[in-house]
């Protein structure tokens, strides 16, 4: 004898409900960021090392930064300064000699849009911003790796 499986609307509804609950749990952060939270504007400071003089000269206030991999907007450059990096060499006798290097260190402040969740600020609603985090950013003329220092939102 063959047994027939009864399948009705209630069974179908329960299966769909379970699938939706699993999907909501998996995508909770993204759903919450898009639906319930308001956009915020944050300012974050950064340091970029190992830049050449030409790269430093290419920066100007209000330059727009984008994340290298995705092209998402990382914010606009509010202010910046730079200093020449020092190079230390150890001589054969054990003493150290310090001189100016050929590279520069860039300090800057970027203003960006994003959302605030319970665990912090997300730049462009995707990239978690926390002190010490490194990102590869680009402008129209240069690509740099920055390290976040301070985030205010």
Shared domain for 43 and 13, answered yes or no, is: no
The pLDDT tens digits of the residues spanning 116-142 come to 776 778 888 788 888 888 999 999 889
Q: Are residues 43 and 32 in the same domain?
A: no
* Same domain flag for 142 and 71: yes
- Residue 33 in this model has a pLDDT that exceeds 90: no
Residue 54 is given by DSSP the state H
Q: Report the alpha-carbon angle 110-111-112, nearest 5.
A: 115
96 with 130, same domain: the answer is yes
Locate the DSSP E strands across the chain.
39-51, 64-67, 73-90, 96-117, 120-123, 127-129, 134-138, 143-152
* pTM check: above 0.85: no
Instruction: Tell me: do 16 and 66 sit in the same domain.
Output: no
Contact (CB, 8 A) for 108 and 46:
yes
| pLDDT tens sequence across 39-50 | 778 888 999 988
Q: Which of 3-12, 54-63, 91-100, 124-133 has the lowest mean pLDDT?
A: 3-12
Give the range of the structural domain holding residue 28, as residue numbers without chain letter: 7-36
């Amino acid at each position: 004898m063959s047994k027939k499986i009864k399948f009705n609307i209630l069974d179908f509804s329960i299966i769909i409900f379970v699938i939706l609950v699993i999907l909501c749990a998996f995508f909770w952060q993204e759903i919450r960021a898009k639906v319930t939270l308001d956009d915020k504007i944050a300012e974050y400071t950064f340091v970029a090392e190992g830049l050449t003089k030409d790269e430093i000269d290419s920066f100007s206030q209000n330059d727009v930064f984008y994340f290298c991999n995705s092209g998402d907007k990382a914010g606009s450059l509010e202010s910046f300064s730079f200093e020449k990096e020092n190079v230390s060499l150890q001589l054969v006798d054990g003493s150290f000699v310090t001189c100016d290097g050929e590279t520069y260190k860039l300090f800057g402040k970027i203003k960006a849009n994003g959302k605030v969740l319970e665990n912090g600020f997300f730049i462009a609603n995707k990239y978690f911003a926390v002190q010490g985090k490194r990102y590869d950013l680009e402008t129209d003329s240069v690509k740099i790796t920055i390290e976040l220092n301070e985030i205010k939102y």
